[in-house]
Amino acid sequence: MSAVPKKPCLKGLKGNDTLDISLREKYNVPKGMLIAKYKDWKDLNILVDDYVSKSLTLVPAKDFFSLLTLNLSKIVEMKSDLRNLQLLSSCAQSIQSFIKNSSVKEELLGIYQRAELKRRAEIAGEETGILLSERGALIYQNEVREEIRDFRVGTKRSLRLRS
């Protein structure tokens, strides 16, 4: 196992800036990928949490890693005379080298797997809640129909619907 490298620095890039929409669209960066402030790109937890919480599709950990490095490569390879974009490219290259280190990659994959499991459990819980609500609504609907039917045929003098 290789030693953990030093975390990358911004190399003059403004840390509170983010990847703007025009660049995201131009380079087809997926929803949830690299949305944090530049200063947070070196934080593996933030990279993972942003993707897992905002992405429409969860992918296996190795695919996430490939997707992340692919999108960093797009930024590294962009050509521009603008100083800020050159700094962004340099920062992305530094982040890419950092996460490709075997111990950092292993840590990143572990963080992603835990976050993915947690998100999938949340999704399953939400789906279960929806199904239980629908089931309860159907049961109540049937009870109301029975009350109405009984009232119409005269076996009940008044409707007592629960609230």
Q: Is the dihedral of CA 139, 144, 149, 155 positive or negative?
A: positive
Q: Which has the minimum average pLDDT: 71-80, 103-112, 137-146? A: 137-146
The pLDDT score that the predictor gives to residue 119 is 86
- pTM for the complete prediction? 0.72
Between 62 and 159, the more confident residue is 62
Residue with tokens 């629908």: 134
Q: Model confidence over 42-72: pLDDT tens digits?
A: 999 999 999 999 987 889 999 999 999 999 9
| Chain segment 144-157, per-residue pLDDT in tens | 788 777 777 777 66
The secondary structure of 28-77, three-state, reads CCCCCCCCCCHHHCCCHHHHHHHHHHHCCCCCCHHHHHHHHHHHHHHHHH
Summarised one tens digit per residue, pLDDT across range 115-124 is: 999 988 887 7
